[in-house]
Every structure is written in structure tokens, then in C-alpha cells.
Amino acid sequence: MTKLNGKVAVVTGGNSGIGLASAKLFAENGAQVVITGRRQQALDDAVRTIGPAAVAVRGDVADPEHHRELANFVREQFGTVDIYMANAGVNTITPSAEVSTDEFDNQFGINARGTFFGVQAISPVLRDGASIILLGSLASDKVLEGHAVYAGTKAAIGAFARSWALEFKERAIRVNVLSPGPTDTEILEKLGVPVEDRSAFAAGMAGAIPLGRLGQPDELGRAALFLASDDSSFVTGINLRVDGGMALL
């Protein structure tokens, strides 16, 4: 498979979960992949998983300086970028009455500010005709308990995408949102679901998902590959929900 042969892809948060699955598929389809993340060991492990077509840049997406450094690195190493996937994100499930200012700022800093300034910094390096993929969420359309702040960050990302789809139209740069539903990744543990309880959690979620199961990272990766490749060459400004139909209920 060579849908991305000769292209350069940048995936923020590409060291785990949906980001890693997407980066691996991009590389398997011929792309040179640059991944980012905050944990060096996780980045090193991810590069080994993806293979020789991957390199890693460590940094915090909430810090605009990281994005400037990343853009300079990509420019110096590869000249231009064909695919930018703003995947890095964080979710803390807390009732609104209990949300602290630090928790609020952390989620907006990583999810919304990180996405905005990431695209701002990389846009001069993007090739005309490039693809920008922003990670949204089912939570921006469907009310989920304890997700008010997270939903707000993902609603902002949808607004960014609609604006950028028009702002970048003269350069034929496509901007789309990929919105996962519940997906079987490491984030479940970060949300407080122990490994030994994952099967029970998945079974409990099945009733809320028309397809009756959690999504798998590779399924989201294949959707990202569609948005990254010429298969979606006439697609911009959409929110592609990959949620097993959960938004319908």
C-alpha cells in the first residue's frame, strides 16, 4: 500500500492510542512520519513500533514554543509537510461543580490551545494541497456525564476546522475533524478504568453503542488515512464521526 508514498506526516501525540495507530498506518502507506509527545520513553517505543520511517520530537503541545521548534525541525529535515494530524489531547471526567481552574486550563491548554497554535506554526510549512486532521470527539455532539469542559475543548476544535477550511481554501489545504467514540486505548486507564476491569467496562458501554462494542485504534487510524490521502481529495470542513453510531442515541 502506497497511498502516501513520498509524503511527510506530522502526528502530535503519536506515541500512543489513535495517534500511534494512525502514524503506523501512514508509514505503512509510504509516508515519512514525525511524531510528538511528552514522554521520551513512550516516543522511543513508538518509533520502534512504527519503523525506520519515523522520527520523534519531544515537547508539550500546550507550549506554543514547542510548535515553533517542531515546524523549524520539519522545515530543516524535510522541507515541507503534507499531512498534519493534531491528535494530542487529554480528558478529565469531573462534574462541572467540581472542576478546578487548573483542570479547566489544562484541558483547554492541551486540546484547544495546543491545536490552534500547532496549526498556526505548521501552516507556513504545509504544502499547497495538504491535509489537516483535527481530533474531535463524540462529546462535542452528545452530552456525556462529567465531560462539560472536555466537550467545550472539542467544540472549539470543530469551530477552528470550519474557519480554517475557508482560510486555507486558496492553497487547496483540506481541514477535517475526526471524532472518535469510546475507543479501546490506554486513555481508559487514565480515566480510571483498571486493566482488569476493561472487559467489564467495554461490556457496559456496548449498550450505548449501536454497533455493540468499543472502537479499536486501527479503525480510527484507517479513517485518518482516508482523510490524509487522495481518497478524500474533495472532502473538507467535515466532522467524520467514527463512533459506532453512538451519537445517534
Do 13 and 36 contact (CB within 8 A), yes or no?
A: yes
Q: Measured on CA atoms in the order 157, 123, 132, 26, is the torsion positive or negative?
A: negative
Grid look-up 462539560 returns 148
Q: Which of 117, 150, 160, 168 is catalytic?
A: 150
Report the alpha-carbon distance of residue 210 to residue 182 in Å, rounded.
12
State yes or no: is 150 an active-site residue.
yes
Do 87 and 19 contact (CB within 8 A), yes or no?
A: yes
CB neighbours of 234 closer than 8 A, spacing ≥ 6? none
Length of the chain: 249
Written as nine digits, the cell of 144 is 456525556
Report the alpha-carbon distance of residue 84 to residue 228 in Å, rounded.
8
Report the alpha-carbon distance of residue 224 to residue 227 in Å, rounded.
5
Catalytic center residues: 150
